[in-house]
Amino acid sequence: MLKNRVALIMLSYYFKQEEKKLEDTCEFVEFDKKAFGMLDIELNQLLADMRKSIRIEAMGLTAAKMLKKFQKLLPLPMSEKEMEALMGVLKHLFSLAQCTQKDAENVSRLMYTYCATLIPGLQKIVKSRPQWFLPKSKSHSKSLPIVRVMVDDNAEFVIARELNEAVNVYQKVVCASPEAGYVDVMEMNVALKIWETYGRTLDDIEFIVVPIIRTKHCFTPIPNGAGLWCKPSADVLIELLKELFFGSNVFQAPSKKTSETLMYLFDAMSTLMKPDMEEIYLLDNRMIDHIDLLFAQKIQRNNAPKTIRDVGSKGFTAEDVRQELKLLKVDSFFPDVCQHADVVFEKIQKAKRLRTCDMYDAVENCMQLSFFKLLPDFAKFLHCQKACHRVYGLKCDQCDQEKKNPKVQKHYMTFWAQKEDGSRGDKVIKMEILNDKGTEIIVQNIPEPAEAKEEEQDENKDETIQKLTDKMRAVTVVTKSGSSPMKPSSGASTSSEK
């Protein structure tokens, strides 16, 4: 038991040191059955070697002396404070009443023997595979650049930063960075055209298809490098509503002050989730945490909420859904919420046997429909994020209009050539996409006016999150020239016009 704990602790120390080499990266290794088979063989041999005896002077050992010996096994030095977990185990061993000094020395020697084989053996395995365990920038790997293709129902998109990094493998360019908290994406057809623009073919890149995964209640976060993860902005909104519906229960007969605060907060949220933003974009965990924190600070949790009653063996009807909504008193905030019961029940009743969990789904769906009717700009936002189908029963006017009259959109994707000193060049690649029963893309090189050059991109990237914090604290909405100062730039730098 003790030897296993020590080995696991030492493994954690070692891999934490190796993990630091991969900070700010999100890279992939191709699965090669033969190569991974060799790895299995080497690991099994390492386990066999751990059973061999390594001599160590056992006389006069103490917990402190043993810790110093373990410290020398690691590739990088660690302080006693950083290794306090291991020190705790050693102190416990040498202080056991039923364990003599000799027994403690023998057990500690055995634990050291295992680790003295394990750590160097792992180091050898890691060093022999730099293409697996080091960033491509340090491993000098000749493998093709890899870009993830996110597949979400009818949408396929890539993260703009990943495509820019792939382009930089062959030709140095600078991609306009989004504001802090945002993650720009671009649709797959646009990404392919940008790739071709730089004279590359599909043989020069590898795309990995990554299906978007959702559980019933939440989105599975997408790793985004630098210890960050992200979610589609539409999922952030839907999950926030779920928390307000069933977590804080703020819609159950809220006071006038709470109702007003909610409306102010949603007004402020519209600066993040604008109905005129035509492109899909993601939010990373910094922005999501700020949104959650600010709602938690401004909205007082309902300390005595009513709960949905258990459903009996006979199930429930649309009328039961209406009665449940009235019992919860959510009709005081959403006066029309009971009107959606029939539409929602039509979907719910397809289940073989209606249970309590189905009643929760029905109540949530009714409140969602009332919310998007009360605040139609958020319904438009869902449409622009290709997520309006996620809310059952939501009548999307924009979807109906676009079926009758397909709209023509113009998107502008901006990349800059990079000068030798690393600064942005003067040439702009402008890409115009016309979506009208097909896609036509025009590529132009346009000299950029000197006064239009952006400021250095590393100037306080966290300013966006601070802006949101200030807005939410003041519970007001401020816009400039009809556009939000927090509007993200999609797919490098983007804008849209109808």
The pLDDT of residue 321 is: 95
The pLDDT of residue 15 is: 92
Q: Which helix (H) or strand (E) holds 187?
A: strand 182-187
Q: Is pLDDT at 43 greater than 60 in this prediction? A: yes
Q: Is pLDDT at 476 greater than 70 in this prediction? A: no
**Is-contact 413 186, C-beta < 8 A?**
yes
For residue range 311-359, list pLDDT tens digits in order.
999 999 999 999 999 999 999 999 999 999 999 999 888 877 899 999 9
Confidence of residue 162 (pLDDT cuts 50, 70, 90): confident
The pLDDT of residue 404 is: 75
Amino acid at 49: D
Q: Is pLDDT at 47 greater than 50 in this prediction? A: yes
Confidence of residue 381 (pLDDT cuts 50, 70, 90): very high
Q: Please give the average per-residue pLDDT across 39-50, as a whole number.
A: 89
Would you state the structure tokens that stand for residue 119, as one six-digit string?
Answer: 């750590």
Confidence of residue 98 (pLDDT cuts 50, 70, 90): low
Q: Is the model more confident about 456 or about 331?
A: 331
Angstrom distances, CA of residue 163 to CA of 38, 141, 174, 343, 399: 32, 18, 11, 43, 30
Q: Where are the domains of the chain?
A: 2-138
Amino acid at 444: Q
pTM: 0.71
Closest by CA position to 186, among listed 170, 166, 169, 214: 166
- Spatial separation of the C-alpha atoms in residues 161 and 174, rounded to whole Å: 10
Any idea which of 35-49, 86-100, 173-187 has the lowest mean pLDDT? 173-187
- Residue 489 gets which letter from DSSP? P
Within 13 Å, how many C-alpha atoms sit on residue 132's CB side? 12
Can you state the percent helix, strand and coil of the chain, rounding each to 5? Answer: 50, 15, 35
**Is-contact 183 490, C-beta < 8 A?**
no
Q: Is 422 left (phi over 0), alpha (psi -120 to 50) or beta?
A: left
Angstrom distances, CA of residue 58 to CA of 61, 62, 106, 107: 6, 10, 7, 10
Amino acid at 407: K
Amino acid at 271: T
Closest by CA position to 245, among listed 329, 344, 356, 338: 329
Q: Is the model more confident about 182 or about 430?
A: 182
The pLDDT of residue 462 is: 53
The pLDDT of residue 452 is: 42
Angle subtended at Cα 135 by Cα 131 and Cα 139, rounded to the nearest 5 degrees: 45
Angstrom distances, CA of residue 248 to CA of 88, 280, 302, 330: 41, 29, 6, 13
**Is-contact 411 495, C-beta < 8 A?**
yes
- Spatial separation of the C-alpha atoms in residues 468 and 306, rounded to whole Å: 32
Any idea which of 30-39, 184-193, 239-248 has the lowest mean pLDDT? 184-193
The pLDDT of residue 97 is: 67
Q: Please give the average per-residue pLDDT across 14-24, as a whole number.
A: 86
Q: Is pLDDT at 362 greater than 60 in this prediction? A: yes
Any idea which of 32-41, 121-130, 139-148, 447-456 has the lowest mean pLDDT? 447-456
- Spatial separation of the C-alpha atoms in residues 482 and 293, rounded to whole Å: 28
The pLDDT of residue 83 is: 92
For residue range 109-146, list pLDDT tens digits in order.
888 888 888 999 999 999 998 888 888 767 666 778 88
Within 13 Å, how many C-alpha atoms sit on residue 140's CB side? 0
- Spatial separation of the C-alpha atoms in residues 282 and 220, rounded to whole Å: 13
- Spatial separation of the C-alpha atoms in residues 400 and 253, rounded to whole Å: 35
Q: Is pLDDT at 275 greater than 90 in this prediction? A: no
- Spatial separation of the C-alpha atoms in residues 498 and 407, rounded to whole Å: 7
- Spatial separation of the C-alpha atoms in residues 9 and 118, rounded to whole Å: 12
The pLDDT of residue 379 is: 92
Confidence of residue 174 (pLDDT cuts 50, 70, 90): low
**Is-contact 84 63, C-beta < 8 A?**
no
Non-local CB neighbours of 151 within 8 Å, separated by 6+ positions:
209, 210, 211, 212
